Structure 1
């Protein structure tokens, strides 16, 4: 699983691709035609997902865009964008004091910047940022897939990422798409040996959300692997990239510690008030026991299935002998999800950036498309229907935390 060894790209699919003149013109200007098709597919699916949420809101008599821009954590980000930190707390029924320091700063900073220069509400700015970041992330997913396996697998990889059951959360006012955009392109830069860019993008990902820890670890371990493989004869940019990678995440953690008066432990105390801590799977085991004894409607069993599928896909990813940096990134995210506490209904969202988990499925789907395109379309259509239905349900109908 070397960071420098790139598998031979698989043959592209389909054999006679459609080439609309508009796509060809854009492709000649610098964006690969295959990427345009994949991005168009991603945009179409996610636009359908947004329309599904709007329709569900209309049926339930809710404001059409409210659940996209003002759901759960979105309200905290919008408040930070408008008022800054230290102005919002919430006392839970158990007496825990939840503060806005639990939320990383890059997303609200971008919201505030956009509303400063454009006549937008914070909610509108938050959605624009999330939607643009989702598109940038999808392009990065294609770039990684194309580099490793060729156009057919890359297109399938983007298509599968678009129809994850919880992919609707890439297009609400949350940080997941922003984090994914920086993390995916950081991984691409590692695979291309562009270490300064990899470290810089990882640092920005670390300013986006707590799971920025995963990309920092992935970049650092990939750099360490290169040092060992080359017996220390590596460019200075590698060392610089490895040092840059954790600075965003670490900087914010230390800043929160300084605000609380406990430099090293303050951030983790803040997160504990949100029942967010690494407990080595104790919380997940308790959830599983409660689910088996008492049931849990639709959202919680679905979340368990999604997380279990993620663990299985991680095992398959390891068997694929994927590059080390992808395996580490996906593995750390899996570890944080399984070993962390907190509401289980939110855990599938934390796996959204872990697109390498989809590589085994993407390779299988690309192979199926080459020999049985009707079967591949049927499978993809079924996955799309499940994604759109589940996305509308968890966003506009269910009352479980996102």
Structure 2
């Protein structure tokens, strides 16, 4: 009896995370979170705008409106200054709403970047999600609400991805710039600089070129401190 040459199809959770799945699942989770927030706002008698101004969001709103003072210097400047600039141009007073919109846009930008990178063959495999289940674990993490609230996580995530993808694409200049912006967003930016510098160096051939990439990313990244 001849052995079967058929290969079993991957299960749904093991299937590759396609562009359509990445983007539609992101939109679905965001819609579910928005519905949940609206229900909490209605059921507990809280204004939706006040709901968006809890935890660190309140500190960022204070920085945007009144500037830095006292313990607020503990918060890194890129995110609140970016929201402040948009609020000034657009004439928006409820900066927590604008911050939530910008964070959501940054995360969708990250998802689109991942979807595009997923179709490339010249990037290290570990930089992109391999399965649908892995992406859903990321999207549905308990703290995933910060990806579309008035916080720094989405901006940091987008900048980190741009830094790593630039380093992997042999563009150490851009990799250093994006890594430096990460440093201005969160204290974990220092780890992004180190990881990006090592990645950029590993993609080059020859000791001199590797050292050059390492120094460029490191110098530009550390300039953000």
Regarding TM over 0.5, the answer is yes
Relative to structure 1, is the Cα distance of residues 154 and 101 closer, same or farther in structure 2, using a 3 angstrom cutoff?
same
Match of 2:68 in 1: 85
Count, aligned residues = 209
CA–CA distance in structure 1, aligned partners of residues 160 and 27 of structure 2? 20
Contact persistence 2:197–2:215 (CA under 8 A): no
Q: 1:42 touches 1:158 (CA, 8 Å); kept in 2?
A: no
TM-aligned CA deviation for residue 75 of structure 1: 1.2
Q: For residues 152 and 81 of structure 1, what CA distance do their matches in structure 2 show?
A: 35
**CA pair 151-134 structure 1, distance change in 2 beyond 3 A:** closer
Closer, same or farther in 2 for the Cα pair 1:150/1:75, shift >3 Å? closer
CA distance in structure 1 between the partners assigned to 2:180 and 2:131 by the alignment: 26
Q: CA deviation at 1:226?
A: 5.3
Larger RCO: Structure 1 or Structure 2 (Cα < 8 Å, ≥ 6 residues apart)? Answer: 1
Deviation, structure 1 residue 108: 0.9
After superposition, residues 325-344 of structure 1 pair within 5 angstroms as none
1:128 matched to which residue of 2?
A: 101
User: Contact 1:182–1:204 (CA<8 Å) still a contact in 2?
Assistant: yes
Residue 160 of structure 1, CA deviation: 3.0
Shift of 1:177: 0.9
109 and 134 in structure 1: CA distance in 2 versus 1, 3 angstrom threshold: same
- TM-score (norm: length of structure 2): 0.79
1:89-135 residue CA offsets vs partner (Å, 9 max, x unmatched): 4xxxxxxxxx1110000111111111111132212221111111111
| Cα distance in 1 between the residues matched to 2:174 and 2:127 | 23
Shift of 1:190: 1.9
Matched residue, 1:239:
215
Task: Determine the C-alpha separation between the residues in 2 that align with 1:129 and 1:43.
Answer: 15
- Which residue of 24, 44, 48 corresponds with 1:40? 24
Say whether the 8 Å CA contact 2:163–2:175 is kept in structure 1. Answer: yes
Q: Deviations over 1:245-270 (max 9, x none)?
A: 2222x2xxxxxxxxxxxxxxxxxxxx
Q: CA deviation at 1:41?
A: 1.3
The match for 2:144 is: 167
**In 1, distance between residues paired with 2:40 and 2:154?**
22
User: Quick one: distance in 2 between partners of 1:156 and 1:202?
Assistant: 28
Q: Structure 1 residue 83: deviation in Å?
A: 1.7
Alignment match, 2:82: 110
Q: What's the C-alpha RMSD, in Å, of the aligned pairs?
A: 3.0
CA contact (8 A) 1:203 1:244 kept: yes
Structure 1 unaligned spans of 5+: 1-10, 18-33, 90-98, 251-402
| TM superposition shift of 1:201 | 0.9
Whether 2:58 is the aligned partner of 1:58: answer no
Contact conserved, 1:195 with 1:240, CA < 8 A, in 2? yes
Q: Residue 6 of structure 2 aligns with which residue?
A: none
Cα distance 1:140–1:59, how it changes in 2: closer, same or farther (>3 A)? Answer: same
